[in-house]
Structures are given as C-alpha cells and as structure tokens.
C-alpha cells in the first residue's frame, strides 16, 4: 500500500470494523443456504447418489483458493486493500451469475466453473478483508474483535438454515431438484447485496515500527516460529475436516432418512451453537490462556467425533454432532488472534493467504473422504478423521 496515502482516522477504522462485520453476518446467512449442506445434497442427487462427486466439487473450489492464495497475499500486501475489496464485488457478481446458470441448467461443467470462480473470490476477499479488519482493530483488542466477527459469522450460518425452513415449507419439503433449484438460487442472489458492505472501506495506514504496525509479540524469541506452527496444525485439521465435514448432511439423509426441513433445523441449531461456544472459548482463554483454551476445546472435539462414530441412537447422535462442531469451530478466532499478534501488519496479507492455503487443504482430502464413504461407510471415515484431529491437537 502506498505510504503517501492519507492516514485513516479512528472513526474511519471503526467503520471498517462494523462494515466488515455486517458483510460477514449477511453473507454467511445466504452462503449457508447456497453453498453448504443443501448444495452438497443437490450435487449428490444430481450425480446419482455419489459421495465422490461431492468430494470432487469441493476439491475444485478448494484448489482454486490454494492456487490463488499466494498471489492474493502478495496483492494484499502491495496494493490498496480497500480497492481489492471493490474488485471483489464484481468477482462476486460473476460467481453468483455462473452459479445460478449451472444450477438452473443442472450442468456440471458450468457448476465446476462457478466453483472455481467462487474459490478465486474467496481467496482474494478473505485475505484482503481479514488483513484490513485486523489492521483496523486497536492494539490489544484483537482477540475480542476477532471473536465478535466469528460469532456474527456463525449466527449467520445458523440463521440461513432457519430461512431455508420457511422456503421448504412454501416450495415443498422434499429432496427434489426443482425445489432445491429455487432455494439455492435465492441463496446465491442474497450474496450480492452482502458484498456492498465491502465498498468504500478505508485503508488502515500504520507507521513502520509503531505499536500498531507490529504484532504484539513480534520481538519475542522464537516469535517467527509461532505462525508456522499455527499454519501447520491448521493444515492437519483441514485434511481431517475435508474427509468428513461436507458429508454430514448426507450422513443424516442416508443413514437416518432426515428430510430437508429436519436437516435445515439441525444445521440452524448447529450454526447458532458455534457462536455460543466461540464466546465460551473467549472466556476460557481469558481465564486460562489462549493456547490452553484451544487445546482443551480441540481435545474435547476429538472425543466427540469418536463418540459420533459409535453412537446409534439418533437423539444422542444429534447432541454430540452439535457439540463437536461447536467445539471445533470455537478455536478458530483464538488461533487467528495469536497469529495476528505474532506477525507485523506489512505481512498480514501473506499470512492470511498462508492460512487460506492451510484451511483449504481439505480440498484434496474431500475426494478421499468421498471415495471412503462410497467404499465403506460414513462412521469409519469419522474414526480416521478423529485420529487426524488428534495429531493436530498434539501440535498445540
């Protein structure tokens, strides 16, 4: 970013924070409708009940993010982050248009193209918006504000399925492509106005060497090791997540016969629980430390996944499923706050890109998960994933 640009005022930085929070909240509502369980089920049905097809679709989106994460990080650290986000609005419109065309025509090549475009959008938008958001937060408040945006994000992911409930009640509570078309397209369309909050943000200008320019702990011994360690454990976690997470809706549809409305209600509760557990993790971090809280929640999540593989009674499966997901997702803002405290502002774009690469590592494992579930069953894959999560927890 140009050093000669006028420095943002505190009021402008506060506007950045709230506009990005609003974007995350609204976008997550419609993304949860268009891109999560319903979309995966749509692909599953259209491909003739194939988990492998779902895995390949996820891989296309994830791999495009991995390929573009590096360039996105360099772009974010060298260009105006606010201008990059303005470009992202146009990219979002292209991604939405391509997605609607692919779903409306039930055309796999167009759907794959849309997934690639959405992957590119996610790589650039996530890197630039998170870097700008982190720069706009006052020193010492990063953990609090990262938890807040994560809570808003997760509330949105819970609210989206609630909205889907009403859509299914109106258009028909059945696993029919014609019904899924309408619900998915409504979800995609809602993403466009959400992106308007990314327009006219103000670049956060910090003086080199100042307190704001550096992470809080950049000068500590071995400080440069911490970001690499966080990214490594994220890679391991993401490999495990890719084998399992995208297939949970199909697990409940195939093994327990849940209808669309029931699955949307489940995922509404699932998403809302994330916000509550993120708040709990923040409070725990304040009492026992961020690293200790992350380890506690990670190990608890692993135990729940092992339980999920062996429980059969539906009520107990549902409770453990919700708690497991909430525990696993509550750690994310804590890890991100540690990462941002150990890297200077001038490098946040590339480290956010590195985080994108690590978190998108599930793209390859999603294909493996699809093959395993088609060849064996869902629960056996849950056990494999739990052991991978255990390795990740050991790195903490």
Percent of the chain with pLDDT over 90: 34
Residue 358's pLDDT is 59
Query: 206 in a domain, yes or no?
Result: yes
**What does the pLDDT look like over 28-57, one tens digit per residue?**
999 999 987 788 889 888 888 777 777 777
Query: 300 in a domain, yes or no?
Result: yes
**What does the pLDDT look like over 260-298, one tens digit per residue?**
889 889 988 988 888 789 889 888 988 898 889 989 999
Query: 314 in a domain, yes or no?
Result: yes
Name the band, by pLDDT with cuts 50, 70 and 90, for residue 206. Answer: very low
User: Within 10 Å of residue 30's Cβ, how many Cβ atoms?
Assistant: 23
Residue 207's pLDDT is 40
Q: What is d(CA 56, CA 103) in angstroms, rounded to the nearest whole number?
A: 17
Out of 39-48, 171-180, 187-196, 349-358, give the one with best mean pLDDT.
Answer: 187-196
- Asked if residue 311 has pLDDT above 80, the reply is yes
Q: What is d(CA 166, CA 265) in angstroms, rounded to the nearest whole number?
A: 10
Average pLDDT of the residues in 348-373? 69
Residue 222's pLDDT is 62
Q: What is the CATH number of the domain that holds 366?
A: 1.20.1250.20
Residue 195's pLDDT is 96
In the chain, the number of structural domains is 1
Query: 209 in a domain, yes or no?
Result: yes
Non-local (6+) Cβ contacts of 273 within 8 A are: 158, 322, 323, 325, 326
Q: What is d(CA 192, CA 173) in angstroms, rounded to the nearest whole number?
A: 26
Residue 235's pLDDT is 79
Residue 238's pLDDT is 80
Query: 4 in a domain, yes or no?
Result: no
Query: 247 in a domain, yes or no?
Result: yes
Task: Tell me phi and psi for residue 159, to 5 degrees.
Answer: -70, -35
**What does the pLDDT look like over 133-154, one tens digit per residue?**
988 887 667 777 887 888 898 8
Name the band, by pLDDT with cuts 50, 70 and 90, for residue 107. Answer: very high
For residue 294, the enclosing domain spans 10-394
Query: 5 in a domain, yes or no?
Result: no
Top pLDDT among 173 and 97 is at: 97
CA 241 from centre of chain:
12
* pTM reported for the whole predicted model: 0.76
**What does the pLDDT look like over 218-239, one tens digit per residue?**
555 566 777 888 888 887 888 8
């Amino acid at each position: 970013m140009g050093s000669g640009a006028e420095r943002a005022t505190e009021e402008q930085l506060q506007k950045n924070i709230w506009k990005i929070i609003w974007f995350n909240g609204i976008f997550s509502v419609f993304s949860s409708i268009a891109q999560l369980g319903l979309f995966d089920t749509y692909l599953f049905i259209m491909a003739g009940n194939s988990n492998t097809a779902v895995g390949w679709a996820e891989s296309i989106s994830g791999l495009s993010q991995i390929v573009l994460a590096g360039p996105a990080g360099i772009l974010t650290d060298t260009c105006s982050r606010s201008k990059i986000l303005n470009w992202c609005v146009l990219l979002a419109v292209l991604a939405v248009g391509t997605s609607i065309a692919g779903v409306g025509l039930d055309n796999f090549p167009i759907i794959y193209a849309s997934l690639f475009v959405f992957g590119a959008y996610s790589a650039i938008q996530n890197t630039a918006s998170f870097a700008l958001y982190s720069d706009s937060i006052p020193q010492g408040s990063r953990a609090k504000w990262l938890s807040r945006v994560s809570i808003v994000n997760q509330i949105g992911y819970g609210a989206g399925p609630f909205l889907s409930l009403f859509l299914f009640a109106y258009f028909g509570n059945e696993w029919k492509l014609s019904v899924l078309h309408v619900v998915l397209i409504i979800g995609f369309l809602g993403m466009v106005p959400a992106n308007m909050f990314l327009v006219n943000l103000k670049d956060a200008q910090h003086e080199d060497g100042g307190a704001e320019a550096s992470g809080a702990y950049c000068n500590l011994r071995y400080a440069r090791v911490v970001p690499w360690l966080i990214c490594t454990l994220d890679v391991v976690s993401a490999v495990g997540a890719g084998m399992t997470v995208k297939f949970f809706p199909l697990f409940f549809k195939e093994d327990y016969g849940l209808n669309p409305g029931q699955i949307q209600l489940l995922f509404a509760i699932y998403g809302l629980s994330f916000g509550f557990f993120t708040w709990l993790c923040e409070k725990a971090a304040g009492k026992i430390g961020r690293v200790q809280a992350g380890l506690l929640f990670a190990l608890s999540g692993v135990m729940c996944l092992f339980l999920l593989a062996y429980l059969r009674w539906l009520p107990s499966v549902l409770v453990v499923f919700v708690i497991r997901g909430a525990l696993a997702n509550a750690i994310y803002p804590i890890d991100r706050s540690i990462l941002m405290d150990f890297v200077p502002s001038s490098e946040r774009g590339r480290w956010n890109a590195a985080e994108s690469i690590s978190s998108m590592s599930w793209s390859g494992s999603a294909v493996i998960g699809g093959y395993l579930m088609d060849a064996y069953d869902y629960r056996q894959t849950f056990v494999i994933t739990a052991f991978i999560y255990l390795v990740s927890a050991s790195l903490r």
